[in-house]
Structure 1
Amino acid sequence: MAVVNDMPTSSLADNASTNDRYARSQARAGVILALPATLLIAALLIGPAILVFFLSFTDASLGLAEARFVGLGNYLRMLTDPGFAQSLRNTAIYVLVVVPTSIGWGLLVALLIAQSPFAAVYRTAYFLPVAATLVALATAWEAIMHPSLGFANSLLLLLGASPVRFLSDPATAIYALAAIGVWQLVGFNMILFLAGLSTIPDELYEAAAIDGADRGLKRFLLVTWPMLAPVTLFVTVMTIIRAFSVFETVAVLTHGGPMKSTSVILYTFYEEGFRFFRVGYASAIAVSFFAFVTVLSLIQMRVSERQARWKNKGGRS
């Protein structure tokens, strides 16, 4: 009996040991397979980010062999630099025009084509600016807004209006870039709103119809808009981040001009780092921009989590 009882015990011990060795070998294999990608991410993303953070506390400049530690000097300089203040104002104007217009237009387009039999065609047409190369699109817009040969001014002349120097007039340049930004973002926002509309249960619309809100503004305010709240929050945060990140159109079309009227935050960072070679100051701008985007993303995540908890509580009650 003792021999019979020992056999199952030893077999269980052997099986447990075998399972442990198998688990350890699987873990080692996972580490080995993930190591190249981890090293690549560290070399291309994490390492440079840490380097930029430390450079922001120095007066580093390309061409100088040494860099002195200046503490918060670069960050304090940002508060008193008139060029950076101008870029903040330009960016604020751009964001204030692009964000509400592209969100409202994207929502309107999504509502209009959601029930259309040609929805796929409309989705493709509106999403093309998102999928296309921004530099190529900017070049096309440069031709459209040409002061004498562009299509926009040709149309104005046909309508009896005077030509407009869209990109060479300080009073209109930032708004012309904002119009291009709206055109680029409408398709992106439309796709997100269409995804949100597809998740709204038909039962809610049927219940609203019983209460007399079967169509139009009543139906939108009673059912559609509240159910789109999480998507709207996400779209708003993403649109703000993308609006603050405008660079390509400025670099291709205006180069920050005329008279610094279109010099935005990222273009100022580019000029400081790659034109004037003030690496320390450019790094401070980059760190500040990264901190702003991170805080904005964390706020969006926190609000989304609260909305999810509120919905779960409502569902249980």
Structure 2
Amino acid sequence: MSDAVLAAAPPATRRRHAGALAEAVTAWSLALPATLLMILLLLGPAFGAIILALTDWQFGAATLNWIGLGNFIEMAGDRVFWRSLGNTLIYIGLVVPLAVLLGLGAALLIEAESAGRAFYRAAFFLPVASTLLAMAIVWEFLLHPSFGLVNRVVEAFGISAIDWLKNPATALPTVAAIGIWKALGLNMVLFMAGLKAIPQDLYDAAAIDGADTAWEKFRRVTWPMLGPTLMFVLVISAIRGFQESFDLVAVLTQGGPNKATEVLLYTIYQEGFSFFRSGYAAALTLIFLAFVLVLTLLQARVLDKRVHYG
């Protein structure tokens, strides 16, 4: 509203306009610190990574050269990059669906069992609360080729002992199995929350319609009503899977043997902090972030069409 129109307006209109203006100023004053913090901590580093990815800067160097898409062209012919990307896809492809299905199965079993529910819930959630270093030490002992418990069990079935983390054929599936074990507990708790939110009236109505068996109740009521929870769990599991793949590889295998377990985040770490190729590491980071963003948006878009919001 222009000053001339506002001056000619009735007093009540001017007061409403002044009140709306004061409210807007107050809102922006309250939001400004958080907005600036978000720009500094999120958008600022992202913009810096974009600029750095277009240079050949090495960590500690006094100068840098603008090379445009040179890092991305080099990446296209880098066998280590493609190997780590493939390992990442295999890891996520194993961890996310299995951790989600096993988490759902554990939640259903615990909710169906009245005795010992609190114990089982705490036992399954323990890996989520445990520290990575302690967990890695325990798994290294369990998987030890000479005296590990896993090989003792395998040998009881007449199979020779396996060096699980040093064999190229078993290293990545073994790391993925540990990732599933670590993610299962959180997924279970999320699914239990979703199960508790389903009204009992729906099960009673389904029973009247002839859904007497546990499978029919699950198919007609539980599964459709768990749609929002399932979508949330899948997206969170995928994001956490990308993050935790680095932790497990860095602690247990360091990308070996012969790059068999090297994932994309570990390649970024190696390029940036072992080889000090900061520009190339920034380019890898942008590809990784774009890949995660596209996968998450695609996953959410596909699942959202199949979700029933009750």
Q: Common fold, TM-score beyond 0.5?
A: yes
In 2, are the aligned partners of 1:237 and 1:296 still within 8 Å (CA)?
A: no
In 1, are the aligned partners of 2:55 and 2:68 still within 8 Å (CA)?
A: yes
Go from structure 1 to structure 2 and tell me whether the alpha carbon gap of 1:205 and 1:17 turns closer, same or farther (over 3 Å shift). Answer: closer
Go from structure 1 to structure 2 and tell me whether the alpha carbon gap of 1:20 and 1:134 turns closer, same or farther (over 3 Å shift). Answer: same
Does 2:60 correspond to 1:74? no
In 1, are the aligned partners of 2:128 and 2:182 still within 8 Å (CA)?
A: yes
Letter matched to residue 71 of structure 1: G
In 2, are the aligned partners of 1:255 and 1:263 still within 8 Å (CA)?
A: yes
Go from structure 1 to structure 2 and tell me whether the alpha carbon gap of 1:38 and 1:164 turns closer, same or farther (over 3 Å shift). Answer: same
Q: Counterpart of 2:262 in 1: which secondary structure?
A: coil
**What residue is the counterpart of 2:253 in the other structure?**
254
**What residue is the counterpart of 1:85 in the other structure?**
82
What displacement does 1:46 show?
A: 3.0
Letter matched to residue 73 of structure 1: G
Q: For residues 172-197 of structure 1, give each alpha carbon's deviation from its aligned partner in whole angstroms, at most 9, with x where no partner exists.
A: 11011011011011111111111111
CA RMSD in angstroms, aligned pairs only: 2.8
Letter matched to residue 110 of structure 1: A
**What residue is the counterpart of 2:287 in the other structure?**
288
Matches within 5 A, 1:160-239: 160-239=158-237
In 1, are the aligned partners of 2:49 and 2:282 still within 8 Å (CA)?
A: yes
Does 2:55 correspond to 1:58? yes
Letter matched to residue 161 of structure 2: P
Matches within 5 A, 1:11-30: 30=30
**What residue is the counterpart of 1:129 in the other structure?**
127
**What residue is the counterpart of 2:7 in the other structure?**
none
Counterpart-to-counterpart distance in 1, 2:285 and 2:146: 38
**What residue is the counterpart of 1:95 in the other structure?**
92
What displacement does 1:84 show?
A: 0.7
Long gaps (5+) in structure 1: 1-8, 313-317
- The number of aligned residues is 299
Go from structure 1 to structure 2 and tell me whether the alpha carbon gap of 1:280 and 1:218 turns closer, same or farther (over 3 Å shift). Answer: same
In 2, are the aligned partners of 1:205 and 1:214 still within 8 Å (CA)?
A: no
Does 2:147 correspond to 1:149? yes
What displacement does 1:216 show?
A: 2.2
Counterpart-to-counterpart distance in 1, 2:24 and 2:224: 50
Go from structure 1 to structure 2 and tell me whether the alpha carbon gap of 1:128 and 1:40 turns closer, same or farther (over 3 Å shift). Answer: same
**What residue is the counterpart of 2:6 in the other structure?**
none
Letter matched to residue 286 of structure 1: T
Counterpart-to-counterpart distance in 2, 1:298 and 1:94: 19
Letter matched to residue 291 of structure 2: F
Q: Counterpart of 1:62 in 2: which secondary structure?
A: coil
Instruction: State the TM-score, normalizing by the size of structure 1.
Output: 0.83
Q: For residues 138-183 of structure 1, give each alpha carbon's deviation from its aligned partner in whole angstroms, at most 9, with x where no partner exists.
A: 2221121111132222333344432110101111110110110110
What displacement does 1:212 show?
A: 1.8
What displacement does 1:28 show?
A: 8.1
What displacement does 1:271 show?
A: 0.5
Match of 1:116 among 113, 126, 131: 113
**What residue is the counterpart of 1:4 in the other structure?**
none
Does 2:42 correspond to 1:45? yes
Letter matched to residue 226 of structure 1: P
Who wins on radius of gyration, i.e. which is larger? 1
Go from structure 1 to structure 2 and tell me whether the alpha carbon gap of 1:160 and 1:50 turns closer, same or farther (over 3 Å shift). Answer: same
